[in-house]
Amino acid sequence: MSLFWSLWIMFLVVLNLGITLFLFLWAPRAKIPVQQDGTSGHVWAHGVLREGVHPLPLWWVILSASMFVVGFAYLALFPGFGRFKGLLGWTSHGELAANVASNNARLDELMKRFSLYPIEQLAGDPAAQQLGGRLFLDNCAACHGRSATGNQLLGAPDLTDNDWLYGGDGKAIFTSIHDGRAGVMPPWASLGEENVKNLAQFVLSLSGRPHDEQRAAAAKPLFATCAACHGPDGKGNQALGAPNLTDQIWLHGGTLADIETTIRDGRQGHMPAWSPRLTEDQIRVLAAYVYHLSHPDHAYPK
């Protein structure tokens, strides 16, 4: 703070406190003209209501005086009077640093305990669930939603249904968070619009949904191209992040129009790597929380 602004703030503080203190000390001693009946002479409602004049209650005077004492003590002990730092030397930066250090010490103790367990077992620890839930809200909820049920518009998968693109054990979840994932479904518009429609009907048939049997039969030979990633039975490939097409769980929507769009235009999904932002220990706790989301009733070993 510059000298000018420091002096300006000090001037305002002295002016306001000075005027307030003067009024506080002067008002009880001020002589107010009164009538013989003890009123000021101000009347309303044709004389029915009259303004009385009484001294301030003692409790109010004591309370107000104590507030002045508190105010002067605050200005003496803490920063607030221009550039004066206060007798205690308190700063908001110092308070924050102390709180951060205290919190880090508590976290270090937790992390040491968390490191003793595999992610699947850590998922059953209430303290890990609480910390992991906070990490999830701060870093993952923007795409996956606060309830972790995903977002088809973004291609963010539901994390509560135990259906995994890249594997759902602790190690696979940790890798997904740590390194990120990049999934690409190439566009197949080159096959022609009729073949795209036929393939969409065949995909519907894989999950047992109502479909056009003739179109599905016509597309069966074409699916050999898709089987390179999704497998000959359409059950997907977690090594490639190719989804299972038989379980009626859809990353980008499961309507006929959605499926046709996916085949025709392709899809691209990007899960960013969180290793630059989160520590290894934080990622382990977050992975445990995500594992817990899809195994809420699992009996974790103690």
Q: Rounded to two decimals, what is the model's pTM?
A: 0.72
For 188-219, what is each residue's pLDDT tens digit?
A: 999 999 999 999 999 999 999 999 999 999 99
Distance of alpha carbon 23 from alpha carbon 173, whole angstroms: 69
If pLDDT is split at 50, 70 and 90, which confidence band does 62 have? Answer: very high
State the DSSP code for 46.
G
What is the Cα 28 distance to its own chain's centre?
54
The average confidence (pLDDT) of the chain is: 92
The 10 Å CB-count burial string (b at 16+, else e) for 168-186 is: bebebbbbbbbeeeebebe
Query: Residue 138 to residues 124, 188, 254: CA-CA distances in angstroms?
Result: 21, 37, 29
* Token pair recorded at residue 63: 């309370």
Q: Which pLDDT value is given to residue 282?
A: 95
Contact present, 9 and 22 (Cβ < 8 Å): no
How far, in Å, CA of 58 to CA of 67, rounded? 14
pLDDT number for residue 300 = 61
Match domain 119-294 to its CATH number in 3.50.50.60, 1.10.760.10, 3.20.20.140, 2.40.440.10.
Answer: 1.10.760.10
Is residue 297 over pLDDT 90?
no
Q: Give residue 301's pLDDT.
A: 55
Whole-Å CA distances, 148 to 5, 139, 173, 293, 294? 50, 12, 14, 8, 10
Backbone angles phi, psi at 267, to 5 degrees: -140, 150
Contact present, 170 and 287 (Cβ < 8 Å): yes
Q: Confidence class of residue 72 from pLDDT cuts 50, 70 and 90?
A: very high
Express each pLDDT in 227-269 by its tens digit. Answer: 999 999 999 999 999 999 999 899 999 999 999 999 999 999 8
- CA–CA distance, 51 with 43 (Å, rounded to integer): 6
Predicted pLDDT of residue 38: 80
Segment 104-132, tens digit of pLDDT: 999 899 999 999 999 999 999 999 999 99
| Every domain of the chain and the residues it spans | 3-77, 119-294
